[in-house]
Amino acid sequence: MNIAFIGAGQVGAPLAAHLAEAGHTVVLAESKPGSASVAEALQRSPRLSARPTAEAIQGADVVFLATPFGANEAALTPIADALAGKVLVDCTNPVGPGLSHGLKSERSGSELVQSLVPKASVVKAFTIYGFENFEDSAYPDYNVKAAMLFCGDDAGAKARVGTLITDCGFEPVDVGGLVQALHLEHMTLMWVRMVRMGGHSPHLVWGALRRPSRA
């Protein structure tokens, strides 16, 4: 797939590198020349490249949004028309004071993102863990992969994102429509509280176990 990343920090950079190494064409969107975060991310894989944001978006089928949540509106508004017909993977989370939900749980951040880019297909994914598990998703001592829960309203868009989740080493678990994004954001906040404040290892992931049906 042709993929563009808006945001090349702790979340965007490792995901971009993994997808590039998996064989996808991955371009980092550069909002201004000489971006330090983009330059650092490019060192992760020789398969990565960078272009001005408009060019990166134009050539992409799937666009990852991996900016701080507070930057989403400024990042998306100028390119809303350019995102028409594209899949937008929302990797962001609205976080408020005291690790509360930044939108007071009245709506999800992904629904707000969808309102900013109404002609794109927004899929919430790559949000329920910290960046450590985007750097390395492998848990070789277990016979299951870490689960990556994702949601969205467009089945075709979710199918594409499910493939990318697999390529990043996770098991894709489709939890439904974009209405579920609020619950995924609370799941992220729970992980952050457990790990950043509660002393749990950052290498803590969820697993999806399924009992075979019996006749």
- What residues does each domain of the chain span? 2-197
Architecture of the structural domain at 2-197 = 3-Layer(aba) Sandwich (3.40)
**Distance, CA of 171 to CA of 192 (rounded, Å):** 21
Q: What is the pLDDT of residues 82-93, one digit of tens each?
A: 999 999 999 999
Structure-token pair, residue 59:
């050539």
The mean per-residue pLDDT over the stretch 32-54 comes to: 93
Residue 31 scores a pLDDT above 90: no
Q: What is the pLDDT of residues 129-161, one digit of tens each?
A: 999 999 999 999 998 999 999 999 999 999 999
Beta carbons within 10 angstroms of residue 98's beta carbon:
6
The mean per-residue pLDDT over the stretch 65-86 comes to: 96
Is 173:166 a contact under the CB 8 Å cutoff?
no
Distances (CA, A) of 18 to 3, 21, 130, 202: 12, 5, 16, 19
pLDDT of residue 215: 64
pTM of the shown model = 0.95
3-state secondary structure the chain: CEEEEECCCCCHHHHHHHHHHCCCEEEEEECCCCCHHHHHHHCCCCCCEEEEHHHHHHCCCEEEECCCHHHHHHHHHHHCHHHCCCEEEECCCCEEHHHEECCCCCCCHHHHHHHHCCCCEEEECCCCCCCHHHHCCCCCCCCCCCEEEEEECCHHHHHHHHHHHHHCCCEEEECCCHHHHHHHHHHHHHHHHHHHHCCCCCCCCCCCCCCCCCC
pLDDT of residue 212: 86
Name the nearest CA neighbour of 172 among 158, 189, 186: 158
Beta carbons within 10 angstroms of residue 104's beta carbon:
9
